[in-house]
Amino acid sequence: MRYVYLILIFVVIAAVSVLGFRGTKSTKNPLEIFDDMDHMPKYQPQDESAFFADGRTDRLPVPGTVARGTFEPDAFKASGKNGDAYGSGFPIAVDNAAMKRGEERYNIYCTPCHGAAGDGQGRLAAYGMTAIANLTAAPYTEMPEGEIYHYIVNGSRSGRMYGYKEKLSVEDRWKVVLYVRALQRAANGSVNDLTPADKEGLGL
């Protein structure tokens, strides 16, 4: 008979431990008989540490550590800014190759919205996306190069356009800015841009 009671107690405990007290919520820590390695003697990122004097688990790089890979030492080239202000000009070689590369990247990443001509009439405009910036008009024609670069990296001010940090390298971003400048020039050209030789025979 003793065994029957013991087995009954065992069955009840087993049933409760498997099924639990269903539906009851508790703010207390669960009873951990087997903690399944929930708690490991390791530091999580940004944990506190009683071991290090400054109280941080994350250690600073040792003095003299040199950044590699994506590090860009030229602040203007990296951010488009000189101090707090957007800078003008290009920190890359401005030549035909850069323009070609900029055109290619622009056509891949920007045309769906801004259109091949930069006027905001891309495919997405046809599908009903509104208020896409016309990059060939003010204020974009007046913006310093560094500001256009900044929006390419970080996205637009209103957050309606994402940044292209991951998609475009530092060099490529500047090449896209270069191509945007070319689109602006093309959209705002006038007869006065023509050389006398060009004008010849056009009856101008």
- Applying CB under 6 A, the residues found at the interface with ligand HEC are 109-110, 112-114, 124, 131-133, 135, 140, 148, 151-152, 156-158, 160-161, 164, 176, 180
Nearest approach in angstroms of CB 136 to ligand HEC is 11
Give Cα separations from 179 to 59, 91, 176 (angstroms): 43, 14, 5
Nearest approach in angstroms of CB 122 to ligand HEC is 7
Q: Write b or e for each residue in 60-71: b if 16 or more Cβ atoms lie within 10 A of its Cβ, otherwise e.
A: eeeeeeeeeeee
Nearer to ligand HEC, 43 or 124 (CB): 124
Check: CB of residue 78 under 8 Å from CB of residue 92.
no
- A 10 A CB-CB count for 183 gives 22
Nearer to ligand HEC, 43 or 109 (CB): 109
Residue 126 corresponds to which tokens in the numbers above?
Answer: 């046809």
Nearest approach in angstroms of CB 108 to ligand HEC is 8
Nearest approach in angstroms of CB 154 to ligand HEC is 9
